[in-house]
Structure 1
Amino acid sequence: MEQDFCEPKNFIERAIDRYPPIVPPNTSTLEAIAAMSNSSSSYVLVGIQHKVLGIFTERDVVKITANKISLEGIPISQVMTRQLITLNIAEANDIFSILALLRSSQIRHLPITDEDEKVVGVITPQSLRAILKPSDLLQMRRVREIMTTEAISVSTEVSVFEVARQMATHRKSCIVICQQATTHSSPSRQKGEETEENLLLERKFKLNTANQPQKPIGIITERDIVKFKAKGLDIAQTPATAVMSSPLVLAQLNFTLWQANQIMQQHSIRRLVVVDERGYLAGIITQSTLLQALDPVEMYSTVQILQQTITETTQELKQEVAQRKQVEEALRDAKKYLKAEVLKRTLELTLANAQLQQALNERIEAEAEVRRLNAFLEQRVQERTAQLQASNQELQQALSNLKSTQEELIQAEKMAALGQLIAGIAHEINTPLGAIRASISNISTALEKSIRQLPQLFEQLDSGDRIQLFALLETVRQNPQDLSFKEERQFKRALKKELEAQGIEDADAIASTLIKIGITQNVELFIHLLHSPNYKLILEAASYWSVQQNNVQNIIMASERASKIVLALKNYARQENFGQMTKAKIAEGIDIALTLYRNQLKQGIEVIKNYQDVPAILCYPEGINQIWTNLIHNAIQAMNGKGKLRIDVSERDNHIVVQFTDSGCGIPPEIKDKIFTPFFTTKPHGEGSGLGLHITHKIIDEHHGKIELESEPGRTTFRVWLPIK
């Protein structure tokens, strides 16, 4: 160390990072973050031809992340730090002036420039620590003397976004992830151990005495946030425990600074988490605090502290001797006092013994009275037990009747809802049937014309033209018509231009026909047919073939639609064994109910589905499906058939959570507490039984779940919680 300080220029030259990451000012911020992450650097310089314009650091990334600022399309020049502190290499005289500049300016990156103000490198606390040789002072001082006790910690339940927000709020370069301990006591000294070390520990832990002690299990730094942003992680949804650095490299309070420095160099890290003897979080020690320990001012302060500690220890020993003399005198006085107290207590005990004997006699008399009362009460209990047994039999019969009535009400409500769906389902089935009938008619007509036309056409074509004709028909079969009006116009213009270039007459009409039969490109394969004198017969035959192909597709789709409706109705109406639960997927049941109500929904209700991947649960599927049917039916009526219905399915707190949110008129606050009451309804007489939501509530109770309601004009949400296990 002395040799380096004797040659300051040589020392500073070795402390400069000669290859700092530099990006031009028009670089996107996301690219700059990726470059920072790839180079494992805590910063990037922004400049042109070695002229430094600004700097962008890990702390800037944390601030941007905590404030939820979108970085898409934003150049680095808009978010970099422009008020940059630099140092000319000619002015860099010694290590202490650089340390003072870093500390006074509260920066961790010092660009070094030459006489032309071009950057030649960067000095950081890390680069300084890498070349410093520990002195004897590092082995004399302890971690507890220079560590930062104001360490910010968070629990294991927080997300990476919350970690970034805490970093930005408290201007910290790292956050410690901790588990809460089971005791509320803070570090304390043992009896008789009032040493300078324990007094110092108490002062160090003042920050945490109001909080529960915490055991660190991981750490997230600014560099980690940079890596997460570079990888495109969703930090709001990513828990801190999933990406934290773990297991931790820890330092004890009694470690020397030399040990701490060796650990940092061995593991290539910039900070250590400090714990006490029980493993609780005590603070943080960083490379910057190690450098401060090498500051001459700090060295001088350390010597003063050592001297002061010796002086205070001597004074404490003198005070302890004086205190022991006072204790001996107090003991002598206490012996005299105790003799008098013993005599006084003896007299009091004699009197108390007489009073106790009197109380014992009174208790014997009281116990005899209690026995007489017990005999009387036992007789009354036997009489009351007989009465209760008779009442219990009556209640069991009433309960059985009530369950039977409840099952009948549930079935009646379900059949009533099914009756409301019949008209819509009939319409839904008639629609694909009509499409099938129309398609069959079109196929029959086109097939009849093709049968009459093809023999005549084949007689007029040679073998080569016939092969091209079959190729044309195969292309039509493989390219069903599914183009928008805009796409048809674009393809037609391109085809017309190509046909005209090939010398085809009536190119506009031919291009229209080709588009209709699905030929949008590679028309050069059929140019020979289009030059044929029979091209009109050829295109007409291809058109009939296209009509048949399109109508076959319509029949297939209509058949699938009718099949889905019948399957949904079958699943809804089937009888399940309510005595035994089965596994069922929640999303499938909701889709069945939506299929049954499709006719009402398509009249003017937009359905927005947000289904997360959730596990199947053990339940009564018939009852669960009736919940979704009742809630969808109520939403349709609340919106008068016009609006938006959003359905969310997610997993939360070991439950499946299903939300139905409609844009209807809402539920007035004065009737919110009544809507689950049996026979309560706001509908006109004859339009509602008032049992739908009551039965829904009962079915959810049977599944040990719960239902919540939030409503205001224009937005009503029913939230159903069903346990996964």
Structure 2
Amino acid sequence: MVTRSVPCDVTELRALFLFERLDDEQLDWLCRNGRVEVFEAGYIYRENDVATSFYVLLEGELVISRRVGHEDAEINRTSQVGAYAGAWRPFFGDGVSQTLDNTLRATRKSRLYVLAADRFAAIMREWFPMPLHLLEGLFLGMKNTQRAISEHERLLALGSLSASLMHELNNPTAAAMRATAALRERLAGLRRTESGIGHDVDRSVWRSLETLQAKALQHLPDAPALSPLDTTDREDELTDWFEAHGLTNGWRTAPTFVQAGWDVEWLETVADVVGDGPGLEDAFDWLHQTVDLELSLNEIDDSTSRISTLVTAAQQYSQVDRTPYREVDLNQLLESTLMMLAHTIGDTVTVVTDLDRSLPPVPVYAAELNQVWTNLVENAVYAMNGRGRLTVRTARDDNQVVVEIGDTGPGVPEEIRSRIFEPFFTTKPVGAGPGLGLDISWRIVVGKHHGDLSVESSPGDTRFTVRLPLGERSPGRSTDAASDGPSGR
């Protein structure tokens, strides 16, 4: 809060490192076009306000902070005379955002030099054309480079996900194709068997066989899952029974009957109905064909369901045909990401999920959050060298939703822990990644969602925690690489 304006002293401005190279005419211009104001302790401007003025500290103390979740996180505290904040980049024009990405407040009564943003832009362009041109090229060039590399990393991730999806789709597709080819053989064999069995079995026996067939098919979904050893033992029992009854095809039909849950008691029931005559083997062939046919249909159903699930996960992950900012189920986003990354995660990583199903929908940029989950999961798998336990947990903490992704890797060394969210910082070997994954994730979580992204790490237990605010709010905006004020992130 401004209490009063005081005269501007050219001598005081000349003593500041910002203005020490200016001549008398330029310093006089600053005093005539700017002003010196005394602020009581309190807010001078707030994050997301339009940048209207450039501030220089003459006396007192300032604090720069940023919104993290529902709290202001202090970034820098200074009493250094000449420290500046506010609209320090309006001379870039529309090339960068002209809103403020931090909050400035005075901790005690402070005196500041204040210059309107448009006048500050004008003197920068007039007094320092060449340095401004170089600064603009450097600043915007870095932004364009970072944007291009970020896009390249997204394309690499898309390629990796596409390969993973193709791999995951290939298995059920191949299974469906195998089952379809087998169906043709089963149907042809079934027609031949029915033609032969009709001559050897009378009508009443045939009706009893149809009843047994219906009962067997009805109980097919309830067939117990046997261990490999128990399966082998059961197949041997059925094969021995077939051989004891003089049937030659027992070795071929036994695996199907075991898969359907049949045992020796079932075989005895069929034998009681048909008798030990010449029609017994045809009866078992017919039952084998019908059961095998049903198993093939089940395999096709399972495979196509798996394909449908993968396609749904891909749509959920990419957020195709959906508005960019909307309320979503975070658990669904995480599950779709895990499904899309199944091939990347591999069989040697155990995935443990602890998802709070009572979480309310959260307003987010869903596609960008999926990129965060992808970055964190891929980093965890890489850290564990493809072996270990990946934990994904969600919970509610008051007015925030918490997403935690943990791994059992060696951990993040304490000496680099404060740098892992910096752009281009990476511990991976050259060529393994540009070091933008965590920086992009930080910008999405903190910059666009006003949340928080943090890490806790020790050997065997590393956890990245994302906190997102609950409740409807206006969408955030991406923050620039540089920060308004005396200190960056």
> TM-score normalised to the size of structure 1?
0.43
Shift of 1:534: 0.9
CA radius of gyration, larger in:
1
Counterpart in the other structure of 2:333: 589
Change (3 A) 1:458 1:390: closer
Query: 2: CA distance between counterparts of 1:451 and 1:666?
Result: 64
Residue identity opposite 1:383 in structure 2: N
Change (3 A) 1:690 1:575: farther
Matched, 1:571 2:316: yes
Query: 1: CA distance between counterparts of 2:149 and 2:333?
Result: 21
Counterpart in the other structure of 2:167: 427
**Deviations 1:202-234 (CA, angstroms, capped at 9, x unpaired):** xxxxxxxxxxxxxxxxxxxxxxxxxxxxxxxxx
Q: Which of 467, 471, 477 is matched with 1:721 structurally? A: 467
Matched, 1:560 2:308: no
Counterpart in the other structure of 1:483: 225
SS at match of 2:454: strand
The answer on whether the counterparts of 1:681 and 1:689 sit within 8 Å (CA) in structure 2 is yes
Query: 2: CA distance between counterparts of 1:403 and 1:575?
Result: 28
**Deviations 1:83-133 (CA, angstroms, capped at 9, x unpaired):** xxxxxxxxxxxxxxxxxxxxxxxxxxxxxxxxxxxxxxxxxxxxxxxxxxx
Shift of 1:684: 1.6
Residue identity opposite 1:394 in structure 2: F
Query: 1: CA distance between counterparts of 2:236 and 2:347?
Result: 38
The answer on whether the counterparts of 1:576 and 1:620 sit within 8 Å (CA) in structure 2 is no
Query: 1: CA distance between counterparts of 2:465 and 2:87?
Result: 43
The answer on whether the counterparts of 2:196 and 2:282 sit within 8 Å (CA) in structure 1 is no
Gaps of 5+ in 1: 1-369
Matched, 1:687 2:432: yes
SS at match of 1:430: helix
Counterpart in the other structure of 2:214: 474
Query: 1: CA distance between counterparts of 2:190 and 2:182?
Result: 12
Change (3 A) 1:581 1:406: farther
The answer on whether the counterparts of 2:9 and 2:31 sit within 8 Å (CA) in structure 1 is no
Residue identity opposite 2:262 in structure 1: I
More strand by share: 2
The answer on whether the counterparts of 2:384 and 2:407 sit within 8 Å (CA) in structure 1 is yes
Query: 1: CA distance between counterparts of 2:363 and 2:453?
Result: 18
Counterpart in the other structure of 1:110: none
Q: Which of 12, 30, 33 is matched with 1:383 structurally? A: 33
Change (3 A) 1:439 1:522: closer
Query: 2: CA distance between counterparts of 1:639 and 1:528?
Result: 60
Query: 2: CA distance between counterparts of 1:691 and 1:539?
Result: 64
The answer on whether the counterparts of 1:421 and 1:596 sit within 8 Å (CA) in structure 2 is yes
Residue identity opposite 1:716 in structure 2: T
The answer on whether the counterparts of 1:644 and 1:663 sit within 8 Å (CA) in structure 2 is yes
Matched, 1:440 2:180: yes
Q: Which of 96, 102, 113 is matched with 1:399 structurally? A: 96
Residue identity opposite 2:443 in structure 1: K
The answer on whether the counterparts of 1:475 and 1:519 sit within 8 Å (CA) in structure 2 is no
The answer on whether the counterparts of 1:680 and 1:690 sit within 8 Å (CA) in structure 2 is yes
Bigger mean CA deviation after superposition, 389-398 or 440-449: 389-398
The answer on whether the counterparts of 2:200 and 2:278 sit within 8 Å (CA) in structure 1 is no
Query: 1: CA distance between counterparts of 2:149 and 2:171?
Result: 34
Q: Which of 610, 617, 620 is matched with 2:354 structurally? A: 610
**Deviations 1:243-267 (CA, angstroms, capped at 9, x unpaired):** xxxxxxxxxxxxxxxxxxxxxxxxx
Matched, 1:519 2:266: no
Number of residue pairs the alignment of both structures matches: 351
Change (3 A) 1:516 1:712: closer
Counterpart in the other structure of 1:54: none
> TM-score normalised to the size of structure 2?
0.63
The answer on whether the counterparts of 1:479 and 1:519 sit within 8 Å (CA) in structure 2 is no
Change (3 A) 1:393 1:537: same
Percent identity, aligned pairs only, is: 26
Change (3 A) 1:706 1:371: closer
Counterpart in the other structure of 1:651: 396
Bigger mean CA deviation after superposition, 627-636 or 407-416: 407-416
Gaps of 5+ in 2: 11-26, 36-51, 55-85, 98-139, 472-489
Bigger RCO of structures 1 and 2 (CA < 8 A, at least 6 apart)? 2
More helix by share: 1
Query: 2: CA distance between counterparts of 1:576 and 1:671?
Result: 40
